[in-house]
Amino acid sequence: MADKRMFSLKIVDSDLFLDMPLSSQCLYFHLSMRADDDGFVNNPKKIIKIIGANEDDLKILIAKGFVIVFDQGIIVITHWKINNFIRKDRYKPTMYIEQKQQLYQTENGAYVSEEKVGCHLVNQRLSSGQPSIDKGRLDKVSIDKGREEQSTPIFYGEFKNVRLSKEEYKNLKEKVKPHTEIMINKLSRYMESSGKTYQNHYATILNWYEKDKDKLRHQMGNKKMNYDVGESL
C-alpha cells in the first residue's frame, strides 16, 4: 500500500466540504491517509479515537456523501479515484472484494453504492475480476432503473461535472430550449476553472439563463440574419 495520498481541490475546496465542522474535515483527511489503494478503511472507529474526533463526525461524512459505509463497519472514500492516482506498479488491490463488488463508478470516478445507482449513471461495474453482475442482480437493477431514473443525477457538460437528473435535463430543454447545451457547458467550464461547486446545478443554470437570455437571443438573431443575407446574395 502506498504511503502517500493526494486530495483534489474540487472536493476539499467545495462549499459542501468546507461547511462541515473542522473535526469532520480532519477525520476525512485521516481516513484518506489510512485507506488502502482502493479507498477502503476497516477501522474508522479506531481512527476516530486516535485523533480525538467522535462518531458524529463520521455520520456527517456519510450524510454529506464523502464516505460510503457497509454493514461490517468498513467504509470507502467516495471520491477516492478523483483524489488519487496510483501507478499500476505500486497499486495493491483491496482485500475487501465483497464490498467493492457492491459499488459502481461514475464517469468522473466517484464511487456510488449499489442501492443508490441507476443503470444510466454507471460507467463501469467494479468487478475485481469477478463476473460483472448475475441475473438476480440484473433484474433488481432493471427494476431500480425504472423507479429511480427520473431523480438519479447524471453528469453533463464538457468536463462531466454538471449534475442533473433526467427530469431536470428535460425541463431545461423546455425552458432554455436551444441554449441548453450552451448554459450547461458554461457552468461546466466555470466550475472546472474556478474550483467552485453549487448545491443545485439545475437552479444555477436557470438563474444564469435569466441573466443571459436576452444576450443569447440577440446573438442567435444576428447569426440567423447573417445566414439569411448570405443566402440572398
pTM higher than 0.85 = no
**pLDDT reading at 84 higher than 90:** no
90-137 pLDDT, tens digit each: 778 888 888 888 887 776 678 887 665 544 444 444 444 433 334 444
Residues 21 and 101 in one domain: yes
Q: Give yes or no: residues 79 and 101 share one domain.
A: yes
Q: Give the pLDDT mean for 47-64.
A: 94
Assess whether 142 and 226 both reside in one domain: no
For 146, list phi and psi in degrees, rounded to 5. -65, -30
- Asked if residue 193 has pLDDT above 70, the reply is yes
Residue 48 confidence class, pLDDT cut points 50, 70, 90? very high
Total tally of structural domains belonging to the chain: 2
Same domain, 13 and 115: yes
Domain end call among 115, 148, 181: 148
Short-list 208, 4, 207, 16, CA closest to 110? 16
Q: Are residues 58 and 169 in the same domain?
A: no
Q: Is the pLDDT of residue 25 over 50?
A: yes
Q: Which residues pair with 41 in a beta bridge?
A: 75
Are residues 113 and 166 both part of a single domain? no
Looking at the structure, tell me whether residues 19 and 105 fall in a common domain.
yes
Q: Give the structural domain span for 62.
A: 9-148
Element (H, E) at 212: helix 201-232
Q: How far apart are CA 78 and CA 73, in angstroms?
A: 15
Does residue 1 sit within a domain? no
Place of cell 437493477: 141
